Amino acid sequence: MRESLEAKKARVLEIIKIFEEEYSEADCTLEYDDVLQLLISTQLAAQCTDARVNIVTKDLYQKYTDVYAFANADELELQNDIRATGFFRNKARNIIGCCKMLIEKYDGKVPEAMEDLLQLPGVGRKTANLVRGDYFKIPGVVVDTHATRLSNKLGLTKNKEPYKIEQDLMKVVPKEYWTSFCHQLVYHGRAYCNARSPKCAICPIAHLCPQMTEK
């Protein structure tokens, strides 16, 4: 039986209620001191774990202390500095280009408008929503691998394309929870809903998961 939009919204509210108890401290696991660092760390986190990014940026942000340092960085040197995050050639080129654009168009400051963020090299909707939500406190749905997998498993979307998943989640998750819900999905994926060995038997939202209730 197909679930109505209203029923799905009600189920999401129940999931959020449990998530708020289980993961009340859920937050971005990238370590940063300012919005530029968050922007760059998020770019580095593509196809890389936050834990590894945090190891790399501990020294990186000591070496490159502001937008001007990154904009004027030697590309080969920066590649070497971020090599451990993978895809380091593209990431280095995008970071330098991004910081040059920030200086040329935004007086060296990271803008908060979605359309402005999306103009920056290496910045897509995932990065833009994370920066807007975590730093500027503007609600946004961050679709990462956890959000993609869990939102499909929970029957909140049937899409695999990040933008379509974002739109689907925006319809069923109350706006004030957009940012926190996505962080909580990450925490839940790590704690219970691991892709390889999910702990369905002890999962606190198993009764709200279609894959369990339809068995």
Of residues 8, 81, 134, 144, which has the active-site annotation? Answer: 144
Of residues 126, 134, 160, 175, which has the active-site annotation? Answer: 126
Residue 39 contacts residue 98 (beta carbons within 8 Å): yes
Phi and psi angles of residue 178, each rounded to the nearest 5 degrees, phi first: -55, -50
Residue 88 contacts residue 52 (beta carbons within 8 Å): no
Q: Name the 3-class secondary structure at 82.
A: coil
134 is catalytic: no
**Of 2, 8, 14, nearest in space to 172 by CA:** 8
Residue 150 contacts residue 185 (beta carbons within 8 Å): yes
- Between CA 97 and CA 101, with CA 99 as vertex, the angle to 5 degrees is 70
199 is catalytic: no
**Of 158, 125, 159, nearest in space to 143 by CA:** 125
For the annotated catalytic residues, the residue numbers are 126, 144
